[in-house]
Structure 1
C-alpha cells in the first residue's frame, strides 16, 4: 500500500520511549541524508500504554544525541488498530512485542509484521533488547543495532522499488 506515493513504516517496542523512537529518529535521518525523506512515512509506537505522551528516555536521547540524532520532539504513543491498516511495515524490536502485534493485528495485515533486526547486516542479533533496566552502555549497543537494522531496511526498500516513484 502506498500513501500518496509514499511507503509507511512503524517501529514498535514496549513503551515507545527507548528503542522504537530511536529507530524512528535513525530512519528519518538516513532517509533525509539519502534524499528520500519525501518517500517514506516513519513513526513509532508501543505495545503498552505505560508512557503515553512522555518524551523518550533521557538515556536514549543522550546516546542518540552523541551520534547526531534528535529524539527530543518525539512523544510516546500506543499502537492502535488503525496502525495495521495505515502502515506498510510494522517492525517490532523483539519477539515479545512481535507476539503482541501478531495477536492485535487483523489477519489480512499480518504480512506487514516483522522484526527490525531481520534487515541487519553487521550484527548477528535477532532482536534489539530492551535497555530500560540496564546501563548507558546498553543504550549505545541498542543504537548500534538499530542503525544496522535501519540501514539494511532502507537498502531493502530501495532494492525492492518501494522508494521509487
Structure 2
C-alpha cells in the first residue's frame, strides 16, 4: 500500500479538494486497494470542519465525493505513516518540514512539481483568491500527472489492484 497525504494551510479548500480528486482518479484506474489517500493542514483554525463551501460546490459539479472528510492537522506520525506528503505551496513545504523535523521518511514535494509546464509553482489558495475553478483545474491536472508518475516509477503497480 502506497500512502499519499495532501497538505495545505487549513485543510478546508485545496488539500481536501486534492484528496477527493485524486481518490476519484485512483478509483477510476482501479487502484483504490493500492493507494491510501488523506489530507491535512498545517494550521489549526478549521479542525473538525468539512471542506469549504466553494470546494464542496465544485466537487459536487464534477460528481466527486467528499463524504466524511473533516479538517485535521499534520501529525508527527504522518512523516512515518505516509510515503508522499504533497504540499500545495512552498510555505506548506516549510511548515511540514518544521512540524516533522528530520525524522520523516516521507518524501515532501510541491503538488505542481508534477506539472513541469505549469505557469505556476504553487496551487493558489481559493480561500483568499475566491477562484475555486482555477484551483480545481490545477489540482485535476496535477492529480492525473501524480498518478501517472506513481505508475511510471513503479511506486504503484497495476498488479496491486
1:107-146 Cα deviation digits (max 9, x unpaired)? 14266111111112663321101110233xx101000000
User: SS of the residue aligned with 1:118?
Assistant: helix
Which structure 2 residues correspond to residues 1-165 of structure 1 after superposition, within 5 A?
Answer: 6-109=1-104, 112-120=107-115, 123-135=118-130, 138-164=131-157, 165=160
Report if the CA contact (8 A) 1:16-1:76 is conserved. yes
Query: For residues 120 and 126 of structure 1, what CA distance do their matches in structure 2 show?
Result: 9
Unaligned runs of 5+ in 2: none
CA distance in 1, matches of 2:70, 2:103: 29
In structure 1, distance between residues paired with 2:99 and 2:105: 9
- Large movers: runs of 4+ above 4 Å: none
RMSD over aligned Cα atoms: 1.4
